[in-house]
Structure 1
């Protein structure tokens, strides 16, 4: 199966260590130092880490205690989400000078369809470079970008030359690129799925491509259909300027099953902090809070509560989560806990989906 034109020109722009970079921008004393936004060396989780901290293995969603062990000279900074939103709005204004087809994924990343752009520039690679240069010149922040024929490949490509770089996967290079790509680098394939693929002899895209649709569906359910198409470069999702999220969640699977509600509450504290970070990052609030419980026998239970107003702060929703956990006796020991928000403030927006196709 060969890809056929017309091809879209999609850019995925991803800010480099956005939260930490903003903190270093506003506080010169932090520049060049290992910085973690959020958490602390006593409790909490890391929301973002500077590249100086990442060299020591510090990552987002890591506990502050572990982060400090990995990087003893780590500096913890309290998040300033309003400031991040302010900078994000300025970045998006730059995007809109090039195209109206902008799909923000969060405060620090977005897809742009520049197939037909306001600058009349036929080169998506040059448009991406110009956008990155403008972000640096106007805001003193670095961004990376991936450029290709669809959102999936552009997203994968934006990670290749991070930080402060970009990667273009041209139409004729898409299939060879995907065939050599390790499955763990496929966007959306997490550690558990990658391990399952490895156990079935799937290590690179070429291995994935050799599996039939039936085999992949049997192994991965509906996701198997997705994997069958993306490894062939087929991903027809358009850039959606008014992308609507139905829910936002965070969950954790534990190495050892939990039987004590005290330990569960401790784990839920960390999950709640991660969820709060995601709510802020996507500039979203919700009314319905759901607790997800997966037991050691793999049965699953959800408990929900809907309130009359929108919330997004941990201090507002964690008491509800605690009540949901304690409202009835647990059936068994627990292997996974998750918290999600639905009934979001974004659902009132009317979606406008526009798809344009021209020669690449």
Structure 2
């Protein structure tokens, strides 16, 4: 469990109550899709497994911990994953199975609190400020949830416990897999400032590279910069970084948060401008985003293509249809049509993204029935 658990559960709750703080748990299933496949197929246990397509243009949707040791990770092209791990076993995704397990897990969550905010099939925030079962502390609640998940699904989950969402999510990743980390009142800023900057949510490879050029490698380096400096170098993102470095997050757990769009984007290591290269990139993004659409159970009418040029100007083009986008082929065709209308590009781009929006009939994420028929990552 690392060094996160340093004091008693009673001290944990007494401090939180004295300071009027919330008690937040972030639960994150361990290598969820791959773990379900290994659970259901004993021949896969202990072996490097990737969920996703193995074809030339396939993308890894999830990787087992055995595969991650070789550097295989989600959103990686399958050919790259196979090169990193020659013994990698590819299995096709089974979203019906993943959704069924996800519903089991959410039912467990709701035994402890009505304040559940799912982020995807395999993770969620819980506000357990009210101790419904009288277990005595948020830490004890998290431990009991993890026990029940193991017993009822034969899968493992990691949990982070703290007084806000930002810290709870960081903590859940601290002792993976099958671990727990508790960040108590008074410990948040110190914990955050001890982390490498890449652990901050929203800091991707490009942002990390820029920060390192500016001398920022840890949370402590970030905390040493004032708001004006961060805003000058990072725009509105600087405000988030200023708060994050001080472990400040006032967002509540939203049990009925409605999704407005589903999408994804890719920032290139080198600017792209060749038509063929752009079409191939678009196909990879379609694969990734469609998987997110399926996970979210989203149905929408508008597809938006986002392009960021090498001068950082942003251009978007959207297309809407009367009928809901019901399958991947339709989504891909709309995306390709949008790109073709832009070719040839006036200058190279550094980012491409796709989004499905104008959503209808999306049930709040924690209230979907287990047998929901989801036509549409």
When the two structures are superposed, what TM-score results if normalisation uses the length of structure 1?
Answer: 0.92
- For 1:11, what is the secondary structure of its paired residue? strand
Structure 2 counterpart of 1:339:
354
Q: Greater CA deviation, 180-189 or 51-60?
A: 180-189
Q: Where do 1:1-360 residues align within 5 Å?
A: 5-311=19-325, 313-329=327-343, 330-345=345-360
Distance apart, 1:348 and its partner CA: 7.7
| Per-residue Cα deviation, 1:265-290 (whole angstroms, up to 9, x for no partner) | 11111111110121122222221101
Root mean square deviation of aligned Cα: 2.0
In the aligned structure 2, how far is the partner of 1:263 from the partner of 1:196? 26
Deviates more, 1:184-193 or 1:89-98: 184-193
1:115-153 alpha-carbon deviations (Å, 9 max, x no partner) = 103212231111111101100101101100000000000
Q: Is 2:131–2:137's contact at 8 Å kept on the other side of the alignment?
A: no
State which drifts further: 101-110 or 317-326. Answer: 317-326
Equivalent in the alignment of 1:356: none
Q: Secondary structure, in 3 states, of the residue corresponding to 1:12?
A: strand
Structure 2, gaps ≥5 residues long: 1-15, 367-377
Q: Tell me, in whole angstroms, the C-alpha distance in 1 between the residues paired with 2:78 and 2:29.
A: 23
Write the distance in 2 (CA, Å) between the matches of 1:202 and 1:337.
27
C-alpha deviation, 1:349, in angstroms: 6.1
Does the Cα contact within 8 Å between 1:107 and 1:283 map onto a contact in 2? no
Shift of 1:203: 1.9
SS in 2 for 1:301: strand
- Contact kept in structure 2, 1:41 and 1:67, CA below 8 Å: no
Distance in 2 of aligned mates of 1:317 and 1:309:
12
Do the aligned partners of 1:279 and 1:312 also contact (CA within 8 Å) in 2? no
Summarize the Cα distance change of 1:185–1:80 in structure 2 as closer, same or farther, 3 Å threshold. same
TM-score (structure 2 length as normaliser): 0.88
Distance 2:309 2:19 in 1: 49
Output the CA distance in 1 between the equivalents of 2:71 and 2:124. 26
Question: Counterpart of 1:290 in 2: which secondary structure?
Answer: strand
